[in-house]
Structure 1
Amino acid sequence: MSRTRVHNLSISLDGFATGEPQSREAPFGHAGQRLHTWMFATRFWDEGGSVGVDDAFAVRHGEGFGAEIMGAHKFGPPGWHDDPDWRGWWGEDPPFHTPTFVLTHHPRPPLEMEGGTTFHFLDATPADALAVAREAADGLDVRIGGGPTVVRDFVAAGLVDHLHLVQVPIVLGRGVRLWDGLEALEDTYDIEAVSSPSGVTHLTFTRRAGRPDPA
């Protein structure tokens, strides 16, 4: 069976994966791009970027996926569902190149983009959304793309096999935290930490064998 994976989710030292308030002009609120500067410096992001620890982790974001699930706040700013012309942050050729399922209480018809990305808008539980995405992935893995609320919901439901977080040495103080309610993950996952010369720490959570997928 395909796995469910999270890659390159950056969090602050105090556990926030995005700042506030989110808007069209500030997708990550007061955090700006400070959570992601480590990635912008890699060859994964830019051909002239560096190789090394950060790049080795970053490239896994695109390996072996057949579908993605994301939350409404990753697809657009507050109120995007009232704008019929909103087509996401990424232009006409989004970087997903797979069927991409947006969890929202305001479903709309599918949105076909260039490069193989089609956005599907679902009002569904994590388990039901994963079942739909797995069928679309056709044997490949499903990426849970964020934001932090969606990742937290899928982890809490026991649906994530592999979780890659990047702890960035900044303190945001406010925003959306990943960890709330996720008590004792160490009982379910094997955890590894790898420090990078850039100052970030890559945290990898791999679900232990014998923990069946509840779906």
Structure 2
Amino acid sequence: MSKLRVNAFTLSLDGFGAGPGQTLQNPLGVGGEDLHKWMIGTRTFRKMVLGADGGTTDVDDRFTVSSFDNVGAWILGRNMFGPVRGEWPDENWKGWWGDNPPYHVPVFVLTHYKRDPIEMEGGTTFHFVTGGIHDALDQAKAAAGGKDVRVGGGVSTIRQYLQEKLIDELHLAVSPVLLGRGENLFAGLDMLKLGYQCTEQVATALATHVTIKRG
């Protein structure tokens, strides 16, 4: 059965999913790159995102590998697609990842502003959804062909799906970094009341991997 998943989403110790002040030059915000050290060195990340050889094949890599398993479509908030705000000024911005993004399946980007789909190399097509989270999920499930749909973030997008009890499983990597400010994933959410519970935790030198599922 198809699931709605969050995988390899990194949080700081104080609960923030990205640093403040996202810009074109600083896509993860101030201090945001420090969150992702656990993944950046893995063989899977280096191959799929950087197109490079080498990297670790440890527990961190295992979680990175599983994050791509059985994913037939993605959902992203607009900030995950790029730093552009408001109306799309032109068609030039096509995401952070160059001509061949690491998704290789349809990606549905939540936005308030219409834009035509963008077909990229490697099987990724960005679709821009103005009808909200339920519309994006319906389109993503249809495109996934029975496989899972992965919510890539950001924090606001994940929170919206959690509030609606739509996410079946979350894998969070808690990094030993304090950001101090930003957008907090769990602020104001009663995860127990929403029906979620922790089912697994595995610690490595660079992160504590936590799996949360809805019963």
TM norm structure 2: 0.91
1:53 to 59, 64, 69: 59
**Deviation of residue 192 (structure 1)?**
3.1
1:127 to 109, 119, 134: 134
2:120 alignment partner in structure 1:
113
2:20 equivalent to 1:33: no
Q: Distance in 1 between matches of 2:194 and 2:165?
A: 12
2:94 equivalent to 1:91: no
2:15 alignment partner in structure 1:
15
1:64 to 43, 52, 70: 70
Q: Per the alignment, in what secondary structure is the counterpart of residue 93 of structure 2?
A: coil
**Deviation of residue 186 (structure 1)?**
6.8
2:24 alignment partner in structure 1:
24
The alignment yields a C-alpha RMSD, in angstroms, of 1.5
Q: Per the alignment, in what secondary structure is the counterpart of residue 124 of structure 1?
A: coil
What are the Cα deviations for residues 147-191 of structure 1, in whole angstroms up to 9, with x where unaligned? 111011111111100100010111101111111221133761231
1:186 to 1:12, Cα distance in 2 relative to 1, 3 A: farther
2:50 alignment partner in structure 1:
none
Name structure 1 gaps, 5 residues minimum: 209-215
Q: Per the alignment, in what secondary structure is the counterpart of residue 174 of structure 1?
A: coil
**Deviation of residue 78 (structure 1)?**
3.6
What are the Cα deviations for residues 59-100 of structure 1, in whole angstroms up to 9, with x where unaligned? 112100111000000000143832420010000100001110
2:202 equivalent to 1:189: no
Q: Percent identity among equivalent residues?
A: 45
Q: Distance in 2 between matches of 1:83 and 1:31?
A: 30
CA contact (8 A) 2:13 2:174 kept: yes
1:187 to 1:100, Cα distance in 2 relative to 1, 3 A: closer
Q: Per the alignment, in what secondary structure is the counterpart of residue 17 of structure 1?
A: coil
Q: Per the alignment, in what secondary structure is the counterpart of residue 90 of structure 1?
A: coil
CA contact (8 A) 2:172 2:209 kept: yes
Q: Distance in 2 between matches of 1:24 and 1:90?
A: 12
1:187 to 1:111, Cα distance in 2 relative to 1, 3 A: closer
**Deviation of residue 195 (structure 1)?**
3.5
With 141-150 and 38-47 compared, the bigger mean Cα shift is at 38-47
What are the Cα deviations for residues 28-53 of structure 1, in whole angstroms up to 9, with x where unaligned? 11123101011012122134211222
Paired residues, number: 208
CA contact (8 A) 1:127 1:159 kept: no
| Aligned residue identity for 2:44 | F
With 165-174 and 125-134 compared, the bigger mean Cα shift is at 125-134
